[in-house]
Amino acid sequence: MKEFFISECSQQENKVITSSFVVASKQVKAKKNGEPYLALVLADRSGQIEAKMWDNVEEFIAIFEQDDFLKIKGLINKYKNRFQLTIHKLRRMEEAEIDFTDYLPKTTKDIGELWRTLTEFVATFQNPHLKSLVELFMADPEIAERYRNAPAAKTLHHAYIGGLLDHVVSLFRSCDLMCRNYPQINRDLLLTGAFLHDIGKTQELSYNRAFSYTTRGQLLGHMIIELEMLQTKLAKLPDFPAELKTLLEHLIISHHGQYDFGSPKLPMFPEALMLHYLDDLDSKMEAMRAHFEREADLGGPWTGYNTSLGRPLLDSKKFMAGEKTPATKADAEDSGAPPDAAAAKETPASETPTLDLFSEQKA
């Protein structure tokens, strides 16, 4: 049983913990004196935390890689108002020790209810061709299982089990509302685009051990995979209009909205433009929500720098409540050495009393 979750950092500040994590990122960097240190991002189902190992690094560098599971003993502390873990000891865990549900975040919403909501929306389609197409996808047991469980992204937004379905249901609701304000929009076409726009993530992303890209996902990307999936299903619908097929293909390849964001074509008709903006809005709103949740324990209304959004964020609720802590600038790069203990309230691993808690238990 996992002893500690990252969301519990505030309860364990300045304490030594022993727990298990999945390695989301691994880098070997150099201190100012040239010696190596490990810079990791560790994860469990409750979040992520930066971790550093400063001492005796050489014996541990080669024993694990990204996506491996580690048993770690280390000190939880804060550096520049963010929790981090200073690692004292680590070992690679065996497969039999791992309960994968401890490490993959999952939507707090009812996946069955989300799927029913999607089904109810599709039942309202007026276009028989689009309705038959979406129902054909949803009736495919393999696709349905993956659609219900896949994350919507590796890290940027809805990065949790059930994230794709959560994102699409939210997008359906937004599309439905916008169609009421813009009656010239073809609602069935827009909703079908919303259903298909990220369906390739079910094959692009791997989510058994950790969130990562499959080889096919790396080589092709989700939009190419989606075009293939669409072709496969349309082969079973011989009466499907060719013009409608072309519009769906454009919805898929243009939904990122800009060439720089990976779209080979810009949105060129109203439903395509609306899909892009509503998809982008839903993604960014979820990215903000998740960032506020991760940094809920920080004092003051300002968060740290959000890499995906390219800015620090202001929690307007905290701001209106009168919290006055000023924003701080995020460091552009790691200094390559342990932070000053007085300034950062961090005790280097070599100075921390080492408790013999690690050689014991296997989770």
Paired with 85 in beta bridges are 51, 76
pLDDT at 335 over 50: no
Contact between 6 and 49 (Cβ < 8 Å)? yes
pLDDT at 67 over 50: yes
- Give the pLDDT band (50/70/90) at residue 152: confident
Topology, domain 6-101+328-351 = OB fold (Dihydrolipoamide Acetyltransferase, E2P) (2.40.50)
Contact between 160 and 104 (Cβ < 8 Å)? yes
Q: Which of 97-101, 243-247, 324-328 has the least mean pLDDT? A: 324-328
Q: Three-class SS of residue 272?
A: helix
Q: What is the pLDDT of residue 343?
A: 36
How far apart CA 38 and CA 30 sit, in angstroms, is: 9
Q: What is the pLDDT of residue 351?
A: 38
**What crossing angle do the helices spanning 242-254 and 222-234 adopt, rounded to 10°?**
160
How far apart CA 49 and CA 53 sit, in angstroms, is: 13
Average pLDDT in the 285-299 region?
82
* Tokens found for residue 205: 């992303």
Mean of per-residue pLDDT scores for the chain: 85
Q: What is the dihedral of CA 341, 344, 345, 349, to 10 degrees?
A: -50
Q: What is the pLDDT of residue 80?
A: 79
- The more confidently predicted of residues 45 and 157 is 45
Q: What are phi and psi of 100, to 5 degrees?
A: -60, -25
Question: Among candidates 56, 50, 63, which has minimal Cα distance to 91?
Answer: 63
Q: What is the pLDDT of residue 100?
A: 81
* pTM, entire model: 0.75
Contact between 195 and 133 (Cβ < 8 Å)? no
* Tokens found for residue 79: 């550096």
Neighbours of 335 (CB within 10 A): 11
- Give the pLDDT band (50/70/90) at residue 9: confident
Alpha helices in the chain, H assignment, sequence order = 111-123, 128-139, 141-149, 163-181, 187-196, 201-204, 215-220, 222-234, 242-254, 270-294, 316-320, 341-344
Contact between 12 and 83 (Cβ < 8 Å)? no
How far apart CA 122 and CA 195 sit, in angstroms, is: 10
Domain boundaries, the chain: 6-101+328-351, 106-291
Amino acid type, 260: D
Paired with 302 in beta bridges are 314
- The more confidently predicted of residues 347 and 248 is 248
How far apart CA 151 and CA 160 sit, in angstroms, is: 5
Q: What are phi and psi of 77, to 5 degrees?
A: -150, 180
Taken in order 126, 132, 134, 139, the sign of the CA dihedral is: positive
CA 293 to chain centre: 13
